[in-house]
Amino acid sequence: GQVEKGGHKHWMSKEIAEQPSVLADVLAHYLPGGQLTFPGDALDFTGIDRVVMVACGTGFYSCFVAKYWLETLARIPVEVDVASEFRYREPPLSERTLAIFVSQSGETADTLAAMRFAAGKCRIASVVNVAQSTIARESDLALPILAGREISVASTKAFTCQLMVLALMAIKAASDRGTLTQDALKGRIAALSSLPALVSQALAVGPQINDLAQELSEAHDILFLGRGAMYPLALEGALKLKELSYIHAEGYASGELKHGPIALIDSHVPVIVMAPSDALFDKTISNMQEVMARGGKVLLVTDAAGAEMAGHGCWGVIRMPEADPMFAPVLYAIPAQQIAYHTAIAKGTDVDQPRNLAKSVTVE
Ligand code: G6P
């Protein structure tokens, strides 16, 4: 009943609402007293020349966001793949490779099989929610995401907690490899530390998204666009929406729109643009204007400055608080989750238990 869900109608809405507090738990665990701390000092990037990241579903998109962080902040090459593809192409691995496996449950069969393929060939870390899981047990280093039990099939708080742990890993990598100055490191740590409060502010857009949901629920196709680290978030937004509402949704890199999917655009296709006002903003906005010129219905998710610059003529504008653009995917995950949640409710689908999906998939 509603009581065990803390007054929420669905587990998903409870889990969305828990994010400020679980993200603060992650910070308290890995940044006690503001000092970056990994268990047993076991995470060391000094001897590493390449990172491979492997997961399924939402965890894969966490990896994809983290690729931007690790490459930009720590200047380390990162490859990401879905687990069901990774091992079959027999990727070369060496002792200087760190393989990171991300899994909420720690039991996903594809991810476990990929990890067993890598075992003995390179160093293996896992980023897991269930600390006693098989994936956690079999990895050299298991980093907990501390999201607490996630019941709704569609992942929400586990996603943002994965991102937080991976962001902290990227900062550790930058520190080990000397790619950021002490001041820059401090600045990034401060930016991460401010996220729980910003996420809590972002949650306030729920009612506004609820108002847009009826119209979204009538669409047959919805596109999500993003650039830079917001591109994988666009993929996650589309995944969440299709999982919950059964509406066909696709995430695309904003700049790639003109190379194909723009052919789909007409007044029946809502296009959700996830764009903090960062260095890439102007380019993303010109991609958005290409959509508007073809009658596309744009929902712009941006900050106050972005809304001021580009909100005009959009079907909807959702305002996020100002954040370090590098870590904006953590913040913009909130409206992405709420879009999926409210659209599913408007359609009348089963939010916590979507058809054909399982929380944890233990077959390959
Ligand atoms: C299933 C779930 C997804 C999840 C994926 C990977 O498909 O429905 O929400 O992202 O498995 O699960 P894992 O537990 O490995 O993160």
Average pLDDT score over residue span 79-93: 94
* Mutation test residue for ligand 1: of 56, 65, 129, 138, the one with most atoms within 8 Å of CB: 56
* Three-class HEC string of 111-156: HHHHHHHHECCEEEEEEECCCCCHHHHHCCEEEECCCCCCCCCCCC
13/22 Cα distance (integer angstroms): 14
318/316 Cα distance (integer angstroms): 7
Mean pLDDT, the chain, integer: 95
Residue 41 confidence (pLDDT) above 70: no
157/163 Cα distance (integer angstroms): 10
222/174 Cα distance (integer angstroms): 37
Residue 36 confidence (pLDDT) above 90: no
Residue 148 alpha carbon to ligand 1 centre in Å: 15
CB 69 within 8 A of CB 229: yes
All residues at 6 or more sequence positions from 325 whose CB lies less than 8 Å from its CB, including other chains: 228, 229, 276, 277, 278, 279
Q: Could you read off the pLDDT of 100-149 as tens digits, one per residue?
A: 999 999 999 999 999 999 999 999 999 999 999 999 999 999 999 999 99
- Pocket residues: Cβ below 6 A from ligand 1: 56-59, 103-105, 108, 111, 153-155, 357-361
Instruction: Report CA Rg, the chain.
Output: 20
| ipTM of the complex, rounded to two decimals | 0.96
- Measured from the Cβ of residue 181, the count of other Cβ atoms closer than 10 Å reads 10
Please provide residue 147's backbone torsions phi and psi, each rounded to the nearest 5 degrees.
Answer: -80, -15
- Measured from the Cβ of residue 43, the count of other Cβ atoms closer than 10 Å reads 22
Residue 24 confidence (pLDDT) above 90: yes
pLDDT at 364: 85
Average pLDDT score over residue span 33-44: 80
pLDDT at 40: 60
Residue 197 alpha carbon to ligand 1 centre in Å: 27
Q: Tell me the two tokens of residue 166.
A: 């991976």
In the block, which residue shows the tokens 């909100």?
311
Ligand 1, atom 7, lies closest to the CA of: 57
Residue 42 confidence (pLDDT) above 90: no
* Mutation test residue for ligand 1: of 58, 103, 138, 139, the one with most atoms within 8 Å of CB: 58
359 counts as catalytic: yes
Q: Could you read off the pLDDT of 178-230 as tens digits, one per residue?
A: 999 999 999 999 999 999 999 999 999 999 999 999 999 999 999 999 999 99
Q: Tell me the two tokens of residue 188.
A: 């990034």
pLDDT at 358: 85
129/277 Cα distance (integer angstroms): 32
104/89 Cα distance (integer angstroms): 24
What pTM, to 2 d.p., does this model score? 0.97
Please provide residue 171's backbone torsions phi and psi, each rounded to the nearest 5 degrees.
Answer: -70, -40
For residue 154, which atom of ligand 1 is closest to its CA?
9
